[in-house]
Amino acid sequence: MGLTLADAIASPEIADRECQWTLNFGPQHPATHTTLRLILNLDGEVILKATPDIGFLHSGFEKLGEHLDFNQYVTIVDRMNYVSPVANEIAWHHSVETLLDIELTPRCKMIRVIFGELMRIHDHLLACGAAALDLGAFTAFLYAFNQRELINDINEWASGQRFHPSYTRVGGLQRDVDDAWINRVRSFLKGFLPAHADICRLLNRNRIFIDRCRGIGVLTREEAINRSVTGPVARASGVVRDLRKNRPYLAYDAIDFNVVCAQEGDCLARYLVRMEEMLESHKIISWAIEHLPGGPVNSDVEERMVLPNQLSVYRSIEGLIHHFELNMSNRKWKPPVEEVYASTESPNGELGFYIVSNGGPEAWRARTRPPSFIHFALFPHLAEGHTVSDVAAILGSLNIIAAELDR
Partner 1 sequence: MTTTQTPPVIPATHEPLLAVARSVAGEDGVTVSVFRDNVRFHVVPGKVLAVLKNLRSECGLDMLIDLSAADYLNYPGAANRYGIWYVLESVSSGLRVIVKTWANDPEPRLDSVFDVWRGADWMEREVFDMFGVVFDGHPDLRRILMPDEFVAHPMRKDYPLRGEGERHNFLALSREQS
CB of 131 to partner 1, least distance (A): 23
| Amino acid occupying residue 277 | E
Q: Between 228 and 312, whose beta carbon lies closer to partner 1?
A: 228
Q: Between 193 and 240, whose beta carbon lies closer to partner 1?
A: 240
* Interface size with partner 1, residues (CB under 8 A): 55
Q: Between 51 and 152, whose beta carbon lies closer to partner 1?
A: 51
Q: Between 99 and 326, whose beta carbon lies closer to partner 1?
A: 99
Q: Is the N-terminal amide bond of 232 cis, ω within 30° of 0?
A: no
CB of 85 to partner 1, least distance (A): 22
Residue 79 binds to partner 1 (criterion: CB under 8 A): no
Give yes or no for a contact between 69 and 307, defined as CB atoms under 8 angstroms apart: no
For residues 311 to 330, the per-residue mask of contacts with partner 1, x marking binding by CB under 8 A and - elsewhere, is --------------------
Give yes or no for a contact between 382 and 215, defined as CB atoms under 8 angstroms apart: no
Q: Between 61 and 257, whose beta carbon lies closer to partner 1?
A: 61
Q: Between 172 and 335, whose beta carbon lies closer to partner 1?
A: 335
Q: Between 343 and 348, whose beta carbon lies closer to partner 1?
A: 343
Q: Between 196 and 375, whose beta carbon lies closer to partner 1?
A: 375
For residues 1 to 40, the per-residue mask of contacts with partner 1, x marking binding by CB under 8 A and - elsewhere, is xxxxx-xx--------------------------------
Instruction: Select from 251-259, 291-299, 327-335, 337-345 the region that touches partner 1 (CB under 8 A).
Output: 337-345
Encode 69-92: b = buried (16+ Cβ within 10 Å), e = exposed.
bbbebbbbbbbbbebbbbbbbbbb
Q: How many CB atoms lie within 10 A of CB 261?
A: 18
Residue 210 binds to partner 1 (criterion: CB under 8 A): no
Radius of gyration of the chain from its Cα atoms, rounded to whole angstroms = 22
Residue 179: helix, strand or coil by DSSP? helix
Q: Which of 117, 280, 350, 362 binds partner 1 (CB under 8 A)?
A: 350
Residue 98 binds to partner 1 (criterion: CB under 8 A): yes
For residues 213 to 242, the per-residue mask of contacts with partner 1, x marking binding by CB under 8 A and - elsewhere, is ----------x-xxxxxx--------xxx-
Q: Which of 340, 382, 383, 391 binds partner 1 (CB under 8 A)?
A: 340
CB of 367 to partner 1, least distance (A): 5
Alpha-helical segments (H) within 296-388: 310-315, 317-327, 371-376, 379-383
CB of 284 to partner 1, least distance (A): 21
Encode 360-388: b = buried (16+ Cβ within 10 Å), e = exposed.
ebbbeebbbbbbbbbbbebbeebbeebee
Q: Between 168 and 237, whose beta carbon lies closer to partner 1?
A: 237
Q: Between 125 and 374, whose beta carbon lies closer to partner 1?
A: 374
Sites for partner 1 among residues 44-63 (CB under 8 A): 54-55, 58, 60, 62-63
Q: Please state, in angstroms and rounded to a whole number, the distance separating the CA atoms of residues 107 and 388.
A: 49
Residue 67 binds to partner 1 (criterion: CB under 8 A): yes
CB of 46 to partner 1, least distance (A): 22
Going by C-alpha positions, the residue among 93, 91, 54 that lies closest to residue 72 is 93
Residue 394 binds to partner 1 (criterion: CB under 8 A): no
Max Cα–Cα distance, the chain, nearest Å: 81
Q: Please state, in angstroms and rounded to a whole number, the distance separating the CA atoms of residues 241 and 260.
A: 10
Q: Is the N-terminal amide bond of 52 cis, ω within 30° of 0?
A: no
Alpha-helical segments (H) within 214-309: 221-226, 231-235, 243-246, 267-290
Please give the C-alpha separations between residue 321 and each of 276, 325, 361, in angstroms, as whole numbers: 50, 6, 17
In degrees to the nearest 10, what's the CA dihedral of 100, 229, 196, 137? 130
Residue 277: helix, strand or coil by DSSP? helix
Residues contributing to the site for partner 1 (CB under 8 A): 1-5, 7-8, 54-55, 58, 60, 62-64, 66-67, 98-99, 101, 223, 225-230, 239-241, 246-247, 336-343, 350, 352, 354, 356, 358-359, 364-365, 367, 369, 373-374, 376-377, 406-407
